[in-house]
Amino acid sequence: MSNEKHPISELMDSSLQNLRTLVDADTVVGEAITTPDGTVIIPVSKVSFGFASGGSDIPTIKQAGQFGGGAGGGVSVQPIAFLVIKDGHVELLQMNDSKTTADRIVTMAPEMVDKFAELFAKRDKKERRAHIEADGGESKG
């Protein structure tokens, strides 16, 4: 068996290599944009791509190894959201108005983290006060 690549492999490799140059991680999560007031905005996109190739060895009497084929692909980039970071708070601004449970969880996650942090800070403060009062008003810190 020959070590030569079949022409269809070369078509596929060439097409996929060109698609790789179009789609990278910066396509999905874009470069951060900083506004004059210090707000950082990061675009988030949905990237879809498709690829197809085909070919056939063409039987001929005069010359063996004739091949005909083709390949193609396409890419779609759709902005779906923006991460907005301002004054230490993160917010997800979605482009569509989808309100599935998963969407709500992702949207509310940064806000919920802030609320839990506040709750734990208040609880810790109350516990410290209770220990100080139990020790007769002196801090043993």
Give the integer Cα–Cα distance in Å for 44 and 31.
9
pLDDT of 114: 76
User: Residue 96, Cα to own-chain centre: how many angstroms?
Assistant: 17
Span 85-111, mean pLDDT?
75
Q: How far apart are CA 34 and CA 36, in angstroms?
A: 7
Torsion angles phi and psi, residue 39, rounded to 5: -70, 135
Residue 37's CB is within 10 A of a number of other CB atoms, namely: 7
Residue 1 — very low, low, confident or very high, per pLDDT cuts 50/70/90? Answer: very low
| Amino acid residing at 20 | R
Alpha-carbon span 18 to 43, nearest angstrom? 24
pLDDT digits (tens, 9 = 90+) for 26-69: 677 788 889 899 899 998 888 887 877 788 877 777 776 677 88
Joined tokens for residue 119:
């709750």
List the beta strands (DSSP E) in 59-124.
66-86, 89-94
Residue 101 has pLDDT above 70, yes or no: no
